Structure 1
Amino acid sequence: MPKKTPAERPPGRRTPAAHPAAGTSKRGETAVDLRIHGAVVNAVMSHRLPPGTRLGEAEFCELYQVSRTTVRKALQRLAHDHIVVLRPNRGAVVASPSPEEARDVFAARRALEREIVPLVIRNVTPSSLKRIRAAIDAEEQARTSGDRAAWIRLGGEFHLLLAELAGNAVLQRFMMELISRSSLIIAVYENPGAPMCGNHDHNELLGFIESGNIKAATKLIEHHLADIEDRLHLGAPERKLSLAEALSGG
């Protein structure tokens, strides 16, 4: 048999700042692509890049010493994740979800997660309960360390995990897009000075899943999502930083 050539290994898992719905690295992407992607996501989630900020290719090229081709790959990935909008002949800007879109996204999430939670309970296993507990612990660690970007990301990943454990691939695919959009909405519209809330709802939900209480779990997930939406300050942030300042954590 002919000797097989080793397949090119994709870059490893992203850092905690990676976006919840961004998925694993794809063929053709490089470590620099992912680094740019992660830096922009982290800056948006940490309120350093407000909506409407122009993301100039030349600035990225200078900051990261890479070609425009590399920058465009990163921007295309960000556009796929609904973090930026690519405007023909005008470049990329940080996405500006409207208050109406925010309400629509959370309404859609409530509709989907009402269906997901009962499926999680019906399919529950000791292994899935351990995964849910690990997700809650990771979220709490980000909160106590003050890492807001990771806290937002891990909150989204908790809900994506539930969609996975529900065992419905279609619902999971829909949830990936909604989590991507709602993570940006939370980053944009939640008051930057607001305290990072504890995981009381997620812990309580785990208890209902363990006990098989579908009615209580469904009611809680609706309340939980409504509470997140109620905390949003639906007005555009006023702070403006340069791209270099934002990406450096300025």
Structure 2
Amino acid sequence: MNTATNAIQATDDSAESGAQQIRDAIRDAIVERRLTPGTKLSESDVGNLFNVSRTLARAALQALSYEGLVSVEKNRGAFVAYPSPEEARQIFAARRLIEPGILREAAAKITPSEIQHLKQLLLEETRLMGERGQTARRAEIKASGDFHLTIAAISGNAIMQRFMDELVARSSLVIALYGQSTISSCGHSEHGDIVAAIERNDLDQACHLMVHHIAHIEADLDLRERKSQGLKEAFDV
């Protein structure tokens, strides 16, 4: 490979890394609900915010659209996705199917240090639940999602880990839109029960608890279809 080819490869690698960093930053903002569904994400605004070209901004937004987190609309631009009630149901149905299997894989190879790490995550959730303010709330939401992602990482299945990365992010969008209560997006005590079942090697119970836990999250959503109203009906005149 000659010098010119090396330079081109280095430029391509740098561009890919830059787009990935922007993608990760926007994804985190969506997961933590700092960016709400429907928020416009123009290439120029994203480029200016991260001090990169519109080409890099476009690549990052396209990557997010592949994951279902951003919707790109012709002649309108990119927006944080606005999942429908049916899409929300499908996301949680997928989680009920996938997460028990991931949990079994993780439990089959989990080490004492990894169990301790899960317990540390629970302690962090407890600490954040006792704090007030938007910053603490966002951190609590992220910690809740990290619990599920950590189990996926322990499983050692990279494909399933990527699936969970997307599902947790899209679940956060759904909860931001349809969640009815101010409780954590994942029940903290239920996380503790799952860890306890894994630790005593009761995998059937751990899987049962995981399915119940996901159903509990979904039960807090208001997924009723709403009919569009006209202007007069909306203002009751």
Q: TM-score, normalised by structure 2?
A: 0.73
The letter for the 1-side match of 2:38 is: G
Give the aligned residue type for 1:194. T
Q: Is the 8 A contact 2:197 2:203 kept in 1?
A: yes
Q: 2:69 aligns with which of 52, 72, 83?
A: 83
Partner residue in 1 for 2:15 = 28
Matched-pair contact (CA < 8 Å) for 2:68–2:170: yes
CA shift at 1:86, angstroms?
A: 1.9
Tell me, in whole angstroms, the C-alpha distance in 2 between the residues paired with 1:171 and 1:65. 33
1:103 aligns with 2:92: no
- Say if 1:164 and 1:35 are closer, same or farther in 2 by CA, change over 3 A: closer
After the TM superposition, which residues 139-150 of structure 1 pair with which residues of structure 2 at under 5 Å, given as runs? 139-146=125-132, 147-150=136-139
Greater RCO between the two (CA within 8 Å, min separation 6)? 1
In the other structure, the counterpart of 1:223 is 212
Q: TM-score, normalised on structure 1?
A: 0.69
Question: In 2, distance between residues paired with 1:37 and 1:120?
Answer: 25
Aligned ranges 1:129-168 → 2 under 5 Å: 129-146=115-132, 147-168=136-157
Provide structure 2 residue ranges, at least 5 long, that are not aligned to the other structure: 1-12, 226-237
Residue in 2 that maps onto 1:187: 176
**Distance between the aligned counterparts of 1:87 and 1:74, measured in 2?**
15
What do residues 146-190 of structure 1 show as CA deviations (whole Å, max 9, x unaligned)? Answer: 423222222222111112222333332322222222122122222
Larger radius of gyration: 2
> Structure 1 residue aligned with 2:55, among 60, 64, 69?
69
8 Å CA contact 1:54–1:92 kept in 2: the answer is yes
CA distance in 1: counterparts of 2:49 and 2:210, whole angstroms: 42
**Aligned: 1:201 with 2:199:** no
Structure in which a larger fraction of residues adopt helix: 2
Cross-structure match for 1:128: 114
Tell me how far apart the structure 2 counterparts of residues 171 and 93 of structure 1 sit (CA, whole Å). 27
Contact 1:142 1:150 in 2 (8 A): yes
* Percent identical residues: 39
Which letter maps to 2:15? G
Deviations 1:41-67 (A, max 9, x none): 43x456564423332334445666654
Equivalenced residues, count: 209
Counterpart contact for 1:45–1:187, Cα < 8 Å: no
* Structure 1 spans left out of the alignment, 5+ residues: 1-25, 237-250
| Partner SS state of residue 28, structure 1 | helix
RMSD: 3.1
Distance 1:200 1:142 in 2: 14
